[in-house]
Every structure is written in C-alpha cells, then in structure tokens.
A = this chain, B = another copy of it.
Amino acid sequence: MPAERLVVIGGVAAGMSAASRARRLNPRMEIVVLEKGDYVSYGTCGLTYLVSGVVRRPEDLIVYTPEFFRRERDVDVRTGHEVVEIVPGKKEVEVRAADSTYALKYDKLVLAAGGAPATSIPGVERPCVFTCNDLRGALALRDFLLARRPRRGVVIGGGYIGLEAAEALRAHDVDVTVLERSDTLLEGLEPEIGFWVNERLARHGIRAILNAAVNCVEPGLDESVQVVYGPRQELTAEVVVLTTGVAPRVELAARAGVELGSTGAIRTDDRQQTNLPSVYAAGDCAETTHLVTGGPVYVPLGTTANKQGRVAGENAAGGNARFPGVVGTLVTKVFGLEVAKTGLSQEAARAAGFSAEAVTIEARSRARYLGGQPLRATLVVDRESGRLLGGQLAGEEGAARRIDVLATALAARMTLSDFVHLDLGYAPPFGPVYDPLLTAAWEALKKIGRRR
C-alpha cells in the first residue's frame, strides 16, 4: 500500500507548520506543499522592518528555505505552483506551474492559502500604491522609496501594519499622513491609550486623521496621486501604502464546497477540520473562536496561523489535537512606545452583551528610583460577574510583555478577585511593588463595587 499523501495549499506560516507537524508525527506520509509565491516560511511580521531598513536583507526574514524542508523534513515544497481548482469528489487539486499544469491526488488536504489585502478603493492599482502583506510587496515598496525618494506619503489604514508602515516611511524622510476610517487607531484602542499613540505619532511628525474613509486614489500632477477621503478632502502623495486589512483567500475553497463562517473566512471545528472530509484549514484563510465572547472571529496573525497549522498538520497525520481559539492579543511598537491589547475593548464588550466597565490607571514600569517610565493600563471587566474581558497597555517599556499576563488570565476566565492576588514577580528593576496590572485590578474592583 502506498503512503498517504498530504497536500498543503500555501507555504508561509500555517502551511509550513502543518507540513512540519505532520512529518514529525508520520515519517512515512508523502507531504507536498504548493506555494504560488517565491518564498516559504518567512517572518511576515518583520516586513515593515525590511521597508524601514532596520532589516537589511530579505534573507534575514526567511526562517527556512524550501531546500531546508526538502532536505531536513522530507517535505516536497513547490514554489511557483498555484492551485487553480480543488476537486473533493476526486480528492485531487489542479495545479498551474510556470511551464505546466497537472492534477495531484490527495488523501488529506490542508488549506493554508492565507489572506490578501482587502480593499475596494478605486485607483489602488496605480504604480505608486503599495501593500505590505508579503515579501514581494514589501521589497517593491522599499525599492521604490530608495529609487524615487518620494516626499509625501499617505498610509491608508491605522491598524498596526499601518502605523508600522508610517514609521518605515518616516525612516525614509517621507512626510506621512495616516488615514483611518474608524474613530480609533489600532482597532478599538481605549481613549487613554489612544491618546498616547496619537501624541507619539505627532511628536514624530505623523498626522493621523480619524473618521477618514478613503473614496479613491486619482492621478495627480507628474507622478503624484490625489488620495480623496471624507466628504471632499484630498491629499497629494508620491507614495501610498494600503493597509486596510486582510481578507481571507477563500474563493478556491468556497468553489469546492468548503463552508465559510459568518466572518467570511473558512469555518472549522476545533480540530481545524472543515465541513469536507479529510480537508483542514489553518491560518489567515480560516476563522477561529474568540475565547471571551465564545463566538467566531477572524484575526489573521502569524502566531495564530502557526498554532492552527500545527493542529491541522497533527490531525491530518492521524493525531487528535485541538486549537481552543484566541483572545485577540496584539502588541506593537510606535516610535518606541510599546502598545498592547488583548480581549475586548469596552465598546466591543458592550456590543457583545456584557455590562462592561473600563478602568485606566497610570503607573510606572519599574521603581521610580531606578528610572521607571510612565505606563498606562486599562482593564475591561464585566460588572455582573467580575470577569476580566480585556485590557490594554502602553508605555516606554514593560507594556508588551505584561499583556501576556492578561491574555493568560482571559484564557483561564479569571475574575478580578482571582486576578488581584496573582503572585507576579517583583524586583525594583522590573516593576513597582504593586504591578500596574494589579493596581488596575484594585481600581476596577472598587469601581464595580467589589463583587467577587
């Protein structure tokens, strides 16, 4: 009997994790990864650092090469091979490569096609408009910045990639404006945290305009464009970066009968299995469960993609792993300011039906006599149950890693009265004697009337 064949569609984060995991569990399985791009297994979250010049060579972002996977893990990685059709009835995929098309049978299939820049803005096909979602896009943007030295730039979208892209443009001396369609940067930042982010951007000469939905990008004088937003405002720019988020790549899957969820991404169970037998999905093409709301959510992030990929790969190889879901943790750096959030914002928590309250405190990252820096922490809690629902942090230092304590507490469904007595580490170089998170929890207990 021939070995089972696992076919993986997509070789960036989830796909390579799935292939590696399957190989570890099943040394005999034949594993083929079909990646339509030129690279596999690279740090997508480092792309803006490539644009800014902090990372000099694209090779530095590449974790493993196709050769590594072939040699060390016996995984047949085929870059430049695009799947154009999935035929579940025949258990095969149709593949188009540079100089051939072919059909490939599968016993197990992992869908890990990722996401694509999401936008419906007319005019973004112009040559000075870039995305920063993959290595090819980031390299094109970097080369453009170096070759053309644009003076004025517009970043469309104020999420974390937008702010990182703005900082990268600034490193090339571009005068930058960020246009964000909603009323907050970084999707749901609480006002006190958002204030610090705005302040930091302004200090570095970046304008962030909120409630600024972009209508279109029109040709301007010479090689510039006009970015038209709001009722009838416009900005002139020689370079535009489009960071309006990611949409799951699902056309192929949907056409083959794979069920999508309410988020528009592929629905799976907690084993990452789709509605079709032997077909799994992982990464930016799939939705997952939000552990605070219990509902489905689409949060395309490399770290989640890797975890889901491992689970999909393990199950495809005959194992029985489960991925419980996410709490929506995000960390980023805005010109040195650490910004972190997890769980639900107060607004999101209320929208989800919680009687949510938010409390913000300002503390220090460590003992004052050892140069502690200001740190802000917001906790979002449920007034009825005392349950923690989310939190945000910002500060010069000590914000990013502290969010993980909240992420852990959210996964454990802790209440404030559990949380307030946590035995967190204390030493003067690392924090004040009451950790800012515990101080925030005390204040929140006071606010909700010390229910336990």
What is A's interface to B at a CB cutoff of 8 Å?
13, 43, 45-46, 49, 54-55, 60-61, 160, 291, 301-304, 306-307, 323-333, 338, 340, 342, 367-370, 398, 400-405, 407-409, 411-412, 414, 418, 421-431, 433-435
Contact = CB atoms under 8 A, between A and B. Distances in A.
B369 A426 contact: no
Contact of A411 (B291, B370, B418): B418
A193 B91 CA distance: 50
A326 B424 CA distance: 9
A331 B430 contact: yes
A191 to B, nearest CB: 21
Contacts of A306: 433-434
Given A45-B433, A400-B425, A430-B401, A54 B370 contact: yes
Contacts of A333: 427, 429-430
Instruction: Report the 10 A-B pairs with minimum CB-CB distance, sorted nearest first.
Output: A412-B412, A331-B425, A401-B401, A303-B426, A60-B369, A408-B408, A400-B430, A326-B423, A404-B424, A329-B425
A302 B330 CA distance: 32
Max chain B CB contacts within 10 Å: which of A332, A342, A367, A431?
A: A367
B428 A49 contact: yes
Nearest to A63: B433
Contacts of A291: 423
A421 B324 contact: yes
Contacts of A338: 430
Given A404-B405, A408-B412, A433-B45, A323 B427 contact: no
22 contacts: A45-B426, A45-B427, A46-B370, A54-B369, A60-B368, A302-B426, A302-B433, A303-B423, A303-B424, A303-B426, A324-B418, A327-B423, A332-B427, A400-B430, A401-B401, A401-B430, A401-B431, A403-B425, A407-B423, A408-B409, A411-B418, A412-B418
Given A55-B369, A400-B430, A401-B401, A425 B340 contact: yes
A411 B388 CA distance: 15
Contact of A421 (B54, B160, B307, B433): B307
A428 B422 CA distance: 28
Nearest to A398: B401
Nearest to A412: B412
A425 B404 contact: yes
Given A423-B304, A433-B303, A370 B49 contact: yes
Contacts of A55: 369-370
Given A43-B428, A402-B404, A404-B425, 5 more contacts: A60-B369, A306-B433, A398-B401, A408-B408, A411-B418
A61 B55 CA distance: 42
Max chain B CB contacts within 10 Å: which of A370, A426, A431?
A: A426
Max chain B CB contacts within 10 Å: which of A61, A303, A403?
A: A303
Contacts of A404: 401-402, 404-405, 422, 424-425, 435
Contacts of A370: 46, 49, 54-55
B412 A425 contact: no
Nearest to A368: B60
A428 B324 contact: no
A307 to B, nearest CB: 6
Nearest to A307: B421
Contacts of A160: 427
A114 to B, nearest CB: 15
B423 A342 contact: yes
Contact of A423 (B328, B405, B414, B433): B328
Contacts of A405: 404-405, 408
Contacts of A369: 43, 46, 49, 54-55, 60-61
B421 A323 contact: yes
